[in-house]
């Protein structure tokens, strides 16, 4: 699965992993987000912070009927209002992915896997 587009100059194919990595990069720049977490936190037993190379492990990309569905697994900073951080992250990820890929993003679901001290 991935995104395929045809243009006047040829076809473009963007892999699911590339979309996941882009979404991971976007969300780590959002207010209150300390980092990405593994989506398998229940199996791992704790929320581990992922390094930049592994952002795709904290993102699930699916194709829905009305566009892409993005699931993000994050860790937020201690003392941050979680609802504000999540809403800002949803807006930013949706906007940047739609502008970058030229596709509709139907949902951006954010799952807070843990809280960590900043710094």
3-state helix, strand, coil in the chain (%, to 5): 35, 40, 25
Over residues 30-48, the mean pLDDT reads 68
114 neighbors 82 (Cβ within 8 angstroms): no
Domain edges within the chain: 17-116
Q: Round to whole Å and give the CA distance between 118 and 59.
A: 22
Instruction: Report pLDDT digits (tens) over 12-22.
Output: 888 888 899 89
60 neighbors 99 (Cβ within 8 angstroms): no
Q: Round to whole Å and give the CA distance between 50 and 33.
A: 12
Name the CA dihedral angle for 27, 28, 30, 33, rounded to a multiple of 10 degrees: 110
pTM (two decimals): 0.81
CA torsion sign for 57, 55, 46, 89 is negative
Specify whether domain 17-116 bears CATH 3.30.70.1350: yes
Over residues 24-49, the mean pLDDT reads 73
**Higher-confidence position of 114 and 87:** 87
């Amino acid at each position: 699965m991935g995104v395929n587009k045809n243009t006047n100059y040829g076809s473009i194919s963007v892999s699911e992993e590339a979309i996941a990595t882009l979404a991971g990069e976007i969300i780590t720049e959002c207010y209150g987000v300390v980092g990405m977490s593994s989506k398998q936190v229940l199996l791992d037993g704790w929320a581990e912070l992922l390094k930049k190379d592994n952002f795709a492990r904290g993102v699930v990309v699916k194709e829905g009927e009305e566009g892409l569905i993005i699931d993000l697994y994050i860790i937020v900073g201690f003392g941050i209002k979680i609802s504000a951080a999540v809403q800002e992250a949803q807006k930013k990820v949706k906007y940047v992915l739609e502008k970058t890929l030229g596709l509709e993003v139907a949902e951006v679901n954010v799952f807070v896997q843990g809280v960590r001290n900043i710094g």
